[in-house]
Structure 1
Amino acid sequence: MAKYLISFPAAAMVVRNAELERASRDSHAVIEAAKAAGVYVFGGGINAGVPVVRVSGDGTVIEGGYPSGPELDGGFAVLELPSRDAAVEWAARLAAACRCDQELRVFHFDPAS
């Protein structure tokens, strides 16, 4: 089975304040369903209040992320699933719950990790 990253950038979740509580409840329900199904690995949201730093091999710390890369924020879940079709189904459930499209990526398999 492969591990899939299901995620969305913070800017994608445009939800009215009145709907935010329901979206939170619904997304947590999908995560609980993934846990009950035994496919949940881990997930959460990036804490935008903590500044990003880049750390080089010699231990040098540089404020900010890669200048050419996209900002990594928003929420994510990692699920271990038997197929891409199953991953699409879970991504659709999270998209409905979060009220925004989800990006789906598969992790490269590394038998040593």
Structure 2
Amino acid sequence: MAKYLISFPSAAMAVPDSEWEAVGRDSHAVIREAKDAGVYVFGGGIDEAVPPLLVSADGSVAEGGYPWAPALNGGFTVLELPSNKEAIEWAARIAKVCRCDQELRVFGFDPES
């Protein structure tokens, strides 16, 4: 089975204030379903109040991420699934409850992880 990253950037969630409670309720319900199905690995969102740090191989630290890269923010869910078809189905369910499109990516297999 492969691990799939289902994610969205913060700007994608253009949700009216009146719908936030429903988004939270509905998205938590889908995550509970993933847990009950035994496919949930990890999920959460980037804390945008805490700026990233760029840590070099020599241990030096600089505030901010890669200056040339787009901001990494939003929500992330990692599921372990037997097929790309099932990953697309879960991504569609998450897109529906979050009210925004989701990016779907496959983690490369690493036998040490």
Range class of TM-score, shorter chain:
over 0.9
Distance (whole Å) between structure 2 residues aligned to residue 68 and residue 90 of structure 1: 31
Indicate the residue corresponding to 2:11 in structure 1. Answer: 11
Indicate the residue corresponding to 1:80 in structure 2. Answer: 80
Counterpart mapping for 1:90-101 below 5 A: 90-101=90-101
For 1:99, give the aligned amino acid.
R
Aligned length: 113
Distance (whole Å) between structure 1 residues aligned to residue 4 and residue 56 of structure 2: 27
Instruction: Please state whether the residue corresponding to 2:73 is helix, strand or coil.
Output: coil
Show structure 1 runs of 5+ residues with no match.
none
Taking structure 2 as the reference length, the TM-score comes to 0.98
For 2:85, give the aligned amino acid.
D
Distance (whole Å) between structure 2 residues aligned to residue 43 and residue 70 of structure 1: 21
Distance (whole Å) between structure 1 residues aligned to residue 80 and residue 3 of structure 2: 4
Indicate the residue corresponding to 2:105 in structure 1. Answer: 105
Indicate the residue corresponding to 1:28 in structure 2. Answer: 28
Divergent runs of 4+, >2 A: none
Distance (whole Å) between structure 1 residues aligned to residue 62 and residue 76 of structure 2: 25
Taking structure 1 as the reference length, the TM-score comes to 0.98
Show structure 2 runs of 5+ residues with no match.
none
Q: CA deviation at 1:56?
A: 0.5
Q: CA deviation at 1:70?
A: 1.6
Q: CA deviation at 1:112?
A: 1.5
Q: CA deviation at 1:108?
A: 0.3
Distance (whole Å) between structure 1 residues aligned to residue 103 and residue 78 of structure 2: 12
**Is 1:43 paired with 2:43?**
yes
**What RMSD in Å do the two structures reach over aligned CA positions?**
0.5
Instruction: Please state whether the residue corresponding to 1:50 is helix, strand or coil.
Output: coil
Q: CA deviation at 1:69?
A: 1.2
Instruction: Please state whether the residue corresponding to 2:33 is helix, strand or coil.
Output: helix
